Structure 1
């Protein structure tokens, strides 16, 4: 089962996830910066307190020039650990249990004291008693002062927590605003979908809502839907008209056959009359069979996909069509002329289809050509295509009929006269054959007299090898 996915929900979640990822990265950067600032301040405080302790080392009130520590003016927290040692042996003052660690004069050392992390600063200096006297005494003083890192980490965590809470609150507000904005911005799409949903076989009118036309991104979609609906409407109308016309044609042929059979059964007839009636019925059946055959051909061309291997020589198929129509042309006393060509024209069409195309157009021209006239065929090869035109000297075509000549069963008169003997499918099949081969066909009236049918087909690559 296909699960439905909400585009607005997915878009909102994507934006929020990106914002969350950016917030996590930013929190990490802020935490690292805050840690750096806090520990730099802590190290500065360690140095300052160590210097203050060094300043508290003073001359003792003795005759031997010793020193003492007077730390009353120095603020030392209870959790601090320090020691002041003079001359590597005499401890002037201390607080807490000083751990053993390598001395790093002027630097900070990380040491764990009772499983707690401390930072110690080591300061080395000299205190000189009576520096102006020849009996000046120099004392080497080493001060180690340390503080637990917990206070600094606590400050870092507090700052990070505040920033994280503010970020989460901002994400929540962003989620609400984004959800509202996405629904608002997607409203034109929903309105467009609702308008498109109203289309059915009884209502083909589609006008894109004004809201969808205001957005540049939605204009192509609205225009595409309008064009698609228009094409579907035309195709639907053509299909409906084709079905109606086909039913009319088949019904007429069947009615003629039925009438012929009923007429034979009205009274006793001679053998010759029965034979004549049967012959007439066979002609009607043949006409019905031809109509069905053309309908099947048209359906095949409109639904099938051209095979890449289909090809034929068009001039050869044209000559065969001229030869087949020779008897009909002589009967009507119409001459068919075609200039001789030294070049071959290979097109992407089966030989049978090319013959059918040429034959349909030629027979149509012969039917409309007056006696003692001619049908002129011209073939021209241009860059990558071949153009084939058929001109007759008949009465031409009414301007009102030109747009509908390729519609199935259209004969140019409302009564659908059967005098020509055609089915009205010939030109429709010709158009389908040309489009199937990626070509075109058009019909125009000659400026003097008669009509001209022009077929243009692309030449195959094999043409260049000949």
Structure 2
């Protein structure tokens, strides 16, 4: 049978507490029993020592010297707790006994264990008995003095205590279980509230949040963590919606241009040079569409790229020169000067393809947004266990309010104001994901109209 979480907490609490209660009961019973028998044994040894002095020991017998006084005392006094005395020789033969024993005998054994106080029965009554060796003055052991007193009252106290403890145990456990259930119910009430709130949250209702408990405890931490998760999910869904809208727009534009160009071509016969111009325009749109799809696929592949990283030793300076060599046509066309400050640049261990992809996108943006006859500065220097690479341009810059959006897919800052500058808005998204995979720190600062600086921190 499956128990509720509340009942499991109560059950575990009761089991743990029951073990402690049973242990406490056993300790109480043991202490009381020890104390009761200690008092009995003290009285018993006192009586044995007192009657030992009344014995008359001869070579052939051991007798009580004043046995007649016992008979008179028995008639004069009412003995609530009588003392039974008996004398046996070394072979266990009865030599003498107190009158209150009448025809009965106390149990005897010659072993050393019987010299310690022990519980015996006489006429069905409980006694506490001790067996003391009797010696002749300066001689060997001649026999044993057996002394016994009633332990009925002590046994009654112990039986009553055991009954009370055993009877109270189920009551205590039931009370503990009820209290534990109530406390567990109160303890998990915030969890139930958290569950109900999360069940109400759907894709279309991600703005709702869990009410935080008043005390800063573990439940407060759990609720805060869930609220943080919901916030990240809400942001991810918002980015997904924005990405879907932007991607469909970006894909629809070249398709619409391509469709319009082909429709114009089929309306009427045209000269060959017109066909060539329109077909060339269509090919350009297909190339743009292909590049956009490739970039989208590259972004999608980053989700599982971490398992296939090709880590090897490489030099960032060499990667920078490789990218600049590929971009030489664009640099020459705008007469842009590149100043590479290559000081002491130690090697790093990373994925060459992704490092080249990061540098290519950042440098391509620097070239794209820099005016003619400007300078791009690339700095490399080891700083605090990392190789810091800064790429600074003198371009148009980025608005301060757009700096936290430029790494979102398909986002382009102030794109309408710079229609002449092409792009898909995916390059910096690819840079951000690649940096996250390679544990490269990424930062950007920019001043509108004066340029932008990207800072990459490659772990050494």
TM-score range, shorter chain: 0.7 to 0.9
Which residue among 164, 172, 184 is the counterpart of 1:182? 184
- TM-score, normalisation: structure 1: 0.80
Partner in structure 2 of residue 400 of structure 1? 401
* Cα distance in 1 between the residues matched to 2:98 and 2:323: 127
Query: 1:336-393: per-residue Cα shift (whole Å, max 9, x none)?
Result: 2223445344252x22222222222222222222222232222222232122222222
Partner in structure 2 of residue 249 of structure 1? 250
Partner in structure 1 of residue 425 of structure 2? 424
Q: Kindly state the Cα deviation for residue 438 of structure 1 after the two structures are TM-superposed.
A: 1.1
Partner in structure 1 of residue 60 of structure 2? none
* Cα distance in 1 between the residues matched to 2:417 and 2:266: 29
Task: List alignment gaps of at least 5 residues for structure 2.
Answer: 56-64, 136-141
The Cα RMSD (Å) is 3.9
Partner in structure 2 of residue 101 of structure 1? 109
The 3 A distance-change label for structure 1 pair 41 and 186 is: same
Query: 1:13-48: per-residue Cα shift (whole Å, max 9, x none)?
Result: 222112211222222223323332333444456567
Partner in structure 2 of residue 334 of structure 1? 336
* Cα distance in 1 between the residues matched to 2:178 and 2:52: 60
The 3 A distance-change label for structure 1 pair 230 and 123 is: closer
CA contact (8 A) 2:131 2:147 kept: yes
The 3 A distance-change label for structure 1 pair 225 and 42 is: same
Trace 1:376-415 onto structure 2 (pairs within 5 A): 376-413=377-414, 415=416
Partner in structure 1 of residue 173 of structure 2? 171
Q: Kindly state the Cα deviation for residue 257 of structure 1 after the two structures are TM-superposed.
A: 1.6
Partner in structure 2 of residue 158 of structure 1? 160
* Cα distance in 1 between the residues matched to 2:450 and 2:132: 118
Q: Kindly state the Cα deviation for residue 113 of structure 1 after the two structures are TM-superposed.
A: 6.6
* Cα distance in 2 between the residues matched to 1:410 and 1:330: 28
Partner in structure 1 of residue 7 of structure 2? 9
* Cα distance in 2 between the residues matched to 1:371 and 1:78: 122
The 3 A distance-change label for structure 1 pair 358 and 121 is: closer
Trace 1:32-431 onto structure 2 (pairs within 5 A): 32-43=30-41, 46=44, 68=68, 69-70=70-71, 71-73=74-76, 75=78, 83=86, 93=99, 94-98=101-105, 99-102=107-110, 108=117, 119-121=128-130, 144-146=146-148, 152-209=154-211, 212-305=213-306, 307=308, 309-311=310-312, 312-341=314-343, 343-348=345-350, 350-413=351-414, 415=416, 419-431=420-432
The 3 A distance-change label for structure 1 pair 250 and 26 is: same
* Cα distance in 1 between the residues matched to 2:373 and 2:144: 134
Q: Kindly state the Cα deviation for residue 331 of structure 1 after the two structures are TM-superposed.
A: 1.6
Q: Which shows bigger deviation, 393-402 or 440-449? A: 440-449
The 3 A distance-change label for structure 1 pair 303 and 418 is: farther
* Cα distance in 1 between the residues matched to 2:380 and 2:389: 5
Q: How many residue pairs align between the two structures?
A: 436
* Cα distance in 2 between the residues matched to 1:448 and 1:352: 33
Q: Which shows bigger deviation, 363-372 or 147-156? A: 147-156
Q: Which shows bigger deviation, 158-167 or 228-237? A: 158-167
Q: Which shows bigger deviation, 401-410 or 143-152? A: 143-152
CA contact (8 A) 2:81 2:149 kept: no
The 3 A distance-change label for structure 1 pair 333 and 78 is: closer
Q: Does 1:435 align with 2:429?
A: no
CA contact (8 A) 1:353 1:433 kept: yes
* Cα distance in 2 between the residues matched to 1:382 and 1:78: 96
* Cα distance in 2 between the residues matched to 1:89 and 1:360: 118
SS of aligned partner of 1:72: helix
Q: Kindly state the Cα deviation for residue 74 of structure 1 after the two structures are TM-superposed.
A: 5.0
* Cα distance in 1 between the residues matched to 2:338 and 2:116: 112
The 3 A distance-change label for structure 1 pair 84 and 326 is: closer
* Cα distance in 1 between the residues matched to 2:66 and 2:392: 134
Partner in structure 1 of residue 62 of structure 2? none
* Cα distance in 2 between the residues matched to 1:432 and 1:78: 95
CA contact (8 A) 1:441 1:454 kept: yes
The 3 A distance-change label for structure 1 pair 152 and 342 is: closer
SS of aligned partner of 1:409: coil
- TM-score, normalisation: structure 2: 0.81
* Cα distance in 2 between the residues matched to 1:66 and 1:278: 145
The 3 A distance-change label for structure 1 pair 340 and 110 is: closer
CA contact (8 A) 1:80 1:96 kept: no
CA contact (8 A) 1:85 1:141 kept: yes
Q: Kindly state the Cα deviation for residue 170 of structure 1 after the two structures are TM-superposed.
A: 2.3
The 3 A distance-change label for structure 1 pair 297 and 123 is: closer
